[in-house]
Amino acid sequence: MLYPYKFKPILMSTLWGGDKIIPFKRLANTSQARIGESWDISNVQGNESVVINGKDAGKNLRQLVRKYKGKLMGESNYERFGNNFPILVKFIDACKDLSIQVHPNDELASERHGTMGKTEMWYVIDNNEGKAHLRLGLNKQITPEEYEALIANDGICDVLDEYAVQPGDVFFLPPGSIHSIGAGCFLAEIQQTSTITYRIYDFNRKDKDGNPRELHTELSKAAIDFQVKDNYKTSYTPKQNEPVELVSCPNFTTSVYDLTEDMLLDYSELDSFVILVCTKGHCLLKDNEGNEIEMHEGESILFPATTQEVQVCTDQQVTFLETFI
């Protein structure tokens, strides 16, 4: 019998990382510094999440998929993705600006790297008392040749849209979107399982050994969508005690729940795993098999495709994201 899975977070130190992830996730003190990312659910080769609860404790996500196949993934998902669990869930704490970057689509990533491309979304949790910002998309039309010149002359930021962010803001990033998470952003990221990133510009920063960080100008040029869009910020109306869909695309569907009372989540017609990512508060989750699991702020829980119902029990406000394919 499958059950709801919790995993040990994989903590990543970065040049731009901060100090919010450890207290947010209620983790034990660690000497690890500048933690920029917590990979909560990952099937990335070499960074597979390890189960920390129940009879499968100690197994990693790749082993779970190989063992349970469509019962974990959903039959249609397993047929589509095989043993490659398709979603990567992160929390990101940017103390400094991340590099300007872009991700390829599935076709280009498969051709160049033999992997999936990278579609992603961001849900803003904190904005450092209103000081946070991010860059996403072009604010004017440019040619590939102008793009190269802007990078060479440190001018790429001048043609990027910049957004001041608030908690609850949502941004959807199709492949090809030039972007950079800015200083002060603390957010949840849901993305395809891919680590293919082309670094466009890094503010002339040096790595830990004092060397300029590698840029991928030529690789990125073919990956960029040079179309100018009106707004990359997702418009939605927050509501209490009912789901609000944020993103629906072939790679994932994500909704947000802001609950002050109990709610039954019905997955009886869904042929997919479900991931719940808690961004505020805590609650008790009970599934139709009799399993119970607590979910706290900063935790992500994977429900197998065999789950029919989940009862959310709370005596306080709890906010979480729900993702499936």
Same domain for 210 and 76: yes
pLDDT tens digits, 57-93: 999 999 999 999 999 999 999 999 999 999 999 999 9
Bridge partners, 171 (sequence order): 122, 233
239 inside domain: no
Same domain for 251 and 197: no
- Give the chain's residues under pLDDT 50: none
Domain of 79 in residue numbering reads as 7-223
Contact partners, residue 119, CB within 8 Å, separation at least 6: 103, 173, 174, 175, 191, 192, 249, 251, 252
230 inside domain: no
Q: What is the pLDDT of residue 105?
A: 97
112 inside domain: yes
CA pseudo-torsion sign 48, 54, 58, 63: negative
Q: What is the pLDDT of residue 230?
A: 86
285 inside domain: yes
The structural domain count of the chain equals 2
Same domain for 267 and 200: no
Q: What is the pLDDT of residue 58?
A: 98
Q: What is the pLDDT of residue 31?
A: 86
Contact status, residue 302 vs residue 265, Cβ threshold 8 Å: no
| Catalytic residue of the set 34, 62, 112, 199 | 199
Kind of pairing between the strands at 309-313 and 282-287? antiparallel
Same domain for 251 and 147: no
φ/ψ bin of 127: left (φ > 0), alpha (ψ from -120 to 50), beta (otherwise): alpha
The CATH number of the domain holding residue 274 is 2.60.120.10
Residue 26 is a catalytic residue: no
234 inside domain: no
Q: What is the pLDDT of residue 116?
A: 94
Task: Give the separation between CA 33 and CA 21, rounded to whole angstroms.
Answer: 11
CA angle in degrees (0–180, nearest 5) for 93-97-98: 80
